[in-house]
Chains A and B, each alone.
Chain A
Amino acid sequence: MATNSIATNSKRGLWGGGAEPLKASYGKLMMWFFLVSDALTFSGFLTAYGMVRYAYPSFDATQPFKFSAEYWPIPEKVFAAAPFITAEAPLVFVGIMTFILILSSVTMVLAVEAGHRGSRVEVEKWMIWTILGGLAFLGCQAWEWIHFIGGTGPESPYLQKGVTYLGASLTQNQYGPPPFADFFFFITGFHGTHVLSGVALNVLIFYNTVMGVYERRGHYEMVEKVGLYWHFVDLVWVFVFTFFYLV
């Protein structure tokens, strides 16, 4: 047995243990694999949205647009409002939301970069900006949901079985077929939950940084791992923005 163990030790290669597979630490690797599974989940949602949308008639573009349960609505007609302005502002608000999330992703990379240099003050500064960006995005989404559920004005009532209906619920909505609102709640809601948990993780990282946990540990890898998650949330939004609001 003794000779055996000596033999393995001398030939200890990649599979001998003690080495980081793919030159990434355990936590980072697991974060990547989690994100792959999460990406497949979101792909499932967005593809299902595409399928249901494709299974409904699209709006006949030669007519002036009107909300109806007969065909799928044009997104820019649905999401045409923004806070503090009464005029039609199609996609303006969601455009602002997209910019906020991209910016908070940028501040997150800057925090990661500061972490590599071990600069605690800079990590703190950029984490605060990232948290604020996340909260701003959540606030915008809350407004968007309230507006979507409440409906847009009495002049566009949705008629179903002789009853007019304003706003949206899971069973009916003024904008289009019921699945339209269902997918809106489900996809943006699931993404919003990701943003919420991302903000919670960012706050945790910020707290630990302030308490000097990572300084004592000697590295700021946790910032990098949570950063991966935060960028993923931004990445998903890029796709939601395209497939829900633009296409």
Chain B
Amino acid sequence: MASYEGLSAQEIEEKKNKQIRKIWLVAGYLAVITAIEFAIAFTSIPKGVKNITFIVLTIVKAFFIVAEFMHLRHEVKMLMYAVVLPMAFVLWLILALLIEADAIFNVLFGG
């Protein structure tokens, strides 16, 4: 994160205030998104649309946590890719298992 070496007391204070403001801003985003999710759960929007909204909002929240709280956005690009790209395997896993689930459903409940 931020290096404080060679900074004057006033510069440190400014940098600190900037950092802390940003932390609370991100915290605010996370709280607001969770509140929105909670509110959407009790509306009469069709289930499919609801679920897609939940998943999109979850990914937005995950982005804020990983990028800002875990500071990944400010790391070297290569480290970022090393962490994020392996998650592509998960997409394949989801697809494969949902296809599998469809087949199981047909066997058990005769689709």
Binding site for B on A (CB under 8 A): 22-24, 29, 32-33, 35-36, 39-40, 43-44, 47-48, 50-57, 61, 76, 90-91, 95, 98-99, 102-103, 105-106, 108-110, 112-113, 116-118, 224, 227-228, 231-232, 234-235, 238-239, 241-242, 246-247
Contact = CB atoms under 8 A, between A and B. Distances in A.
Interface string B69-111: 1100001101100110011011001100110111011001100
Given A113-B16, A234-B65, A247 B54 contact: yes
A220 B16 CA distance: 16
Among all A-B residue pairs, the 5 with the closest Cβ atoms: A54-B101, A51-B97, A55-B104, A22-B79, A242-B58
Given A40-B90, A224-B1, A247-B51, A106 B23 contact: yes
B65 A112 contact: no
Given A22-B82, A55-B105, A106 B24 contact: yes
B2 A116 contact: yes
Contacts, number: 132
Contacts of A117: 4, 12, 16
A43 B66 contact: no
B20 interface: yes
A246 B54 contact: yes
A51 B98 contact: yes
Contacts of B41: 76, 90-91, 246
14 contacts: A36-B83, A55-B105, A55-B108, A91-B38, A95-B38, A102-B34, A112-B1, A113-B1, A117-B16, A238-B58, A239-B62, A242-B57, A247-B51, A247-B55
A98 B78 CA distance: 32
B58 A239 contact: yes
Nearest to A108: B69
A99 B93 contact: no
B65 A22 contact: no
Given A102-B30, A113-B20, A239-B62, A51 B101 contact: yes
Contact of B69 (A47, A50, A53, A105): A105
A24 B97 contact: no
B104 A238 contact: no
A234 B19 CA distance: 20
A113 B19 contact: yes
Contact of A109 (B3, B31, B69, B108): B69
A14 B100 CA distance: 46
Contacts of B66: 231, 235
A47 B86 contact: no
